């Protein structure tokens, strides 16, 4: 378990602060993460990586010459927000465009995609690439749905080495795509990890058993098998990966591969070496030439006891990039000339709090008071049910939904209170809350709740007194925006299974002329029933999808939290109608 922490909610920020203090030769802090402390040639493509905390040395430990130009760092097991990613990318950009790289998780896909759009709006050319190397999380026919685990490293490195050679953005992206298509990983675990402040691991494995097909966010394995010897574990890892070769590799014999035996947090290096001796022998028996193997902790999951094996099948170009030198706090290879410090770039710090708000009518400012009361109710109901939401989420996911919702709702309420105190209207109060929720929560729920609040804020505006019809219109627009952003539809076992019927019921009730509180009451009842109904669904999207059968009988955590929130908001509406 994680024993040394202060406030669990501050763990990720404090860890990043200590990391930058310890590694000033390589990195400097910026809002949202870190960038290189050394100078980068003008016009070079900036490779910006990122993801949640809890995986060190991924992601901040991989920033330096020959590897990433910057890393956006989210909360524990939660993707960084679009604002964090945009901040890091802006600081790392030196005129050649930005390639954003991350593991293939829904929250990362949403936030990095949004960041790329913001960069483009700023006139900075940006592309995104998601690493999807975990063969246990989806079959070959659905490889685009696979999770990213320790395969992040060789794919990041290939793209970064290509950028160091001065290649343009599109060619650097093609290198990433080539490396990603030739990278496969598979892992096993003997116990789950425990998050800071938690009193139990995210999953447990029965005595004398192991979990097979792990995820690096504390997700349980796809299955279980008897606890192996080191040699048996090596055989399972190698044989599983050799069963799935890249499309242009017919036989492993005569092929070259970059090999990574990765420890996930609490398997000791000596244990890894015992396993690797057999991995090397088995690959040799199969005719595979191993190129610059790596054995150690490269992508971890806090204190998870487990290992993963990654193979990147090399061609001449990929081998050149894999062997290229790199110098980062946690990963070094070859030799580089002495680095020049980046003295020309001013430190990037958190922006000062915005004390200006748009002009608003008296009616909208009064409505903002109701919005603030509603957000206070949201914060209180989330706080009361955070442990329950985490328990539900841990059945087939990573168990962090309650933590993320607490961080997001608390930040949103604080930002809304600040804006309300400055005299903001209802629309501005909601949009400030939207940015804060997305920024502090991260993950999929952070992106989606940011979208919900922003859609409502846009619909309400700052000029008019929002009536029931306008509120219903805003909820309907939020429902559409969430579906467009996340790609989920009713039946996928997500929050959409509640949001859509809630929006439809609210629109119907306001269309009948019901006052807002009464219409919201009817819609909240619909939401509660819809959330309960998700217990009978199999997840088709997100982290729970590989563990679909385990989730039967348990409602979706995001759907359940949304239903709780709709009922809590109804109470606030009754008090302020």
Label the pairing between strands 33-36 and 70-76. antiparallel
Cβ atoms of residues 368 and 467 within 8 Å: no
User: Which of these, 336, 299, 329, lies nearest to 28 by C-alpha position?
Assistant: 329
* DSSP letter assigned to residue 147: P
Token pair for 68: 């990433």
Q: From the candidates 217, 385, 413, 560, which is the catalytic residue? A: 217
3-state DSSP helix/strand/coil % of the chain, to nearest 5: 50, 15, 35
- Report the 3 state secondary structure along 466-477: CCHHHHHHHHHH
Tokens of 265: 């947090």
Q: Show the CA angle centred on residue 162, arms to residues 161 and 166, nearest 5°.
A: 110
Tokens 């949403």 belong to: 110
Residue burial 104-113, b: 16+ Cβ < 10 Å; e: rest? bbbbbbbbbb
Specify whether the CB–CB gap between 527 and 510 falls below 8 A: no
Beta strand pairing call for 98-103 and 126-131: parallel
Reduced to 3 states (helix: H, G, I; strand: E, B; else coil), residue 332 is strand
Does residue 217 have an active-site annotation?
yes
- The long-range contacts involving 117-125, CB below 8 angstroms and separated by at least 24 positions, are 118/82, 118/86, 119/86, 119/89, 119/90, 119/93, 122/90, 124/89, 124/90, 124/93, 124/97, 124/98, 125/97, 125/98, 125/169
| Nearest Cα residue to 138 out of 487, 491, 543 | 543
Other Cβ atoms less than 10 A from the Cβ of 572: the count is 21
3-state secondary structure of 216: coil
Residues noted as catalytic: 217
């Amino acid at each position: 378990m994680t024993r040394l922490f202060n406030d669990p909610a501050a763990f990720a920020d404090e860890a990043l602060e200590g990391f930058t203090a310890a590694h000033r030769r390589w990195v400097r802090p910026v809002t949202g993460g870190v960038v290189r402390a050394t100078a980068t040639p003008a016009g070079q493509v900036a490779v910006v990586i990122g993801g949640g905390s809890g995986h060190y040395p991924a992601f901040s430990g991989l920033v330096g010459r020959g590897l990433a130009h910057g890393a956006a760092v989210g909360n524990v097991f939660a993707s960084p927000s679009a604002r964090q990613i945009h901040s890091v990318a802006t600081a790392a950009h030196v005129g050649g465009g930005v390639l954003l790289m991350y593991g293939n998780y829904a929250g990362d896909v949403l936030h990095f995609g949004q960041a790329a759009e913001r960069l483009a709006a700023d006139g900075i050319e940006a592309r995104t690439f998601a690493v999807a190397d975990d063969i246990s999380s989806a079959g070959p026919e659905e490889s685009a749905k696979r999770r990213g685990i320790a395969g992040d490293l060789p794919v990041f490195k290939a793209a970064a080495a290509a950028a160091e050679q001065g290649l343009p953005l599109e060619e650097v992206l093609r290198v990433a795509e080539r490396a990603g298509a030739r990278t496969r990983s598979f892992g096993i675990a003997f116990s789950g990890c425990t998050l800071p402040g938690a009193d139990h691991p995210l999953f447990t494995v029965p005595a004398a058993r192991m979990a097979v097909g792990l995820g690096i966010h504390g997700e349980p394995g796809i299955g279980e098998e008897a606890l192996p010897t080191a040699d048996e574990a090596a055989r399972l890892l190698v044989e599983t990966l050799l069963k799935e070769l890249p499309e242009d590799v017919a036989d492993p014999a005569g092929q070259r591969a970059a090999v990574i035996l990765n420890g996930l947090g609490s398997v000791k290096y000596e244990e890894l070496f015992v396993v690797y001796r057999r991995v090397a022998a088995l690959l040799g028996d199969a005719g595979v030439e191993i190129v610059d193997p790596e054995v150690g902790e490269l992508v971890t999951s806090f204190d998870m006891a487990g290992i993963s094996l990654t193979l990147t099948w090399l061609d001449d170009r990929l081998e050149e990039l894999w062997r290229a030198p790199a110098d980062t706090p946690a990963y070094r290879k070859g030799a580089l000339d002495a680095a020049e410090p980046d003295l020309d770039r001013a430190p990037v710090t958190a922006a000062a709090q915005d004390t200006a708000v748009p002009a608003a009518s008296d009616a909208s400012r009064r409505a903002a008071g109701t919005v603030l009361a509603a957000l206070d109710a949201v914060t209180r109901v989330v706080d009361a049910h955070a442990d329950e939401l985490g328990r539900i989420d841990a059945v087939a996911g990573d168990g962090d939904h309650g933590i993320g919702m607490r961080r997001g709702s608390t930040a949103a309420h604080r930002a809304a209170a600040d804006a309300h105190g400055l005299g903001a209207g209802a629309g501005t109060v909601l949009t400030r809350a939207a940015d804060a929720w997305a920024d502090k929560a991260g993950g999929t729920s952070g992106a989606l709740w940011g979208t919900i609040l922003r859609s409502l804020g846009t619909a309400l505006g700052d000029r008019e007194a929002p009536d029931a019809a306008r509120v219903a219109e805003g909820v309907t627009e939020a429902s559409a925006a969430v579906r467009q952003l996340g790609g989920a539809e009713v039946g996928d076992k997500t929050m959409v299974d509640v949001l859509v019927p809630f929006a439809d019921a609210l629109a119907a009730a306001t269309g009948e002329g019901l006052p807002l509180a009464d219409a919201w009451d009817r819609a909240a009842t619909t939401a509660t029933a819809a959330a309960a109904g998700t217990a009978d669904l199999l997840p088709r999207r997100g982290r729970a999808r590989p563990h679909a059968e385990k989730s039967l009988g348990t409602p979706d955590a995001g759907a359940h939290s949304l239903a709780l929130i709709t009922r809590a908001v109804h109470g606030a509406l009754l008090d302020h109608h």
